[in-house]
Amino acid sequence: METAGETFARAIAAKDAAALRAVLSDPLDFQALTPGRHFRAGTATEVAVEIILGRWFAPARIDQLCSLAAGEVSGRGHVAYRLRVRAWDGDYLIEQQAYYDTAADGRIGWMRLLCSGYRPVLEP
């Protein structure tokens, strides 16, 4: 059975706003740290549409979900994923790690996320 964190990562990779909103509770306690900014949000739509798809991944074509790992830390969910994207002038890798709690309905109600930022792909 897929975890809420895996569903969250796959929805980002598909740039699927409806799937993102569906896995997030409303209201939601969300905070994220990217290389340039700290984000806070309180609704599923704000997180999915305004932040993730509207700011973070709007300029990118997501080509591949390169890795996806999910687990648990004493009852708290954990998900880590890496995306290969095409944006601006080249190819980039983005890695994100998140810890989350789910509500009784299985949706994410609390999440803290850390992002590597857009990192240029270094070809050997």
Q: Could you read off the pLDDT tens digit of each residue along the chain, which spans 124 residues? A: 899 999 999 999 999 999 999 999 999 999 999 999 999 999 999 999 999 999 999 989 999 999 999 999 999 999 999 999 999 889 999 999 999 999 999 999 999 999 999 999 987 6
The pLDDT assigned to 89 comes to 87
* In contact, 55 and 36? CB cutoff 8 Å: no
The pLDDT assigned to 11 comes to 98
The pLDDT assigned to 26 comes to 92
**Per CATH, which fold does 4-120 belong to?**
Nuclear Transport Factor 2; Chain: A, (3.10.450)
**Strand (E) positions, the chain?**
24-33, 38-41, 60-73, 76-87, 90-102, 108-115, 119-120
Residue whose structure tokens are 């792909």: 121
Question: Domain spans of the chain?
Answer: 4-120
**Strand (E) positions, 13-57?**
24-33, 38-41
The pLDDT assigned to 59 comes to 84
The two three-digit tokens of residue 6, written as one number: 């895996």
How far apart CA 3 and CA 78 sit, in angstroms, is 9
The pLDDT assigned to 122 comes to 85
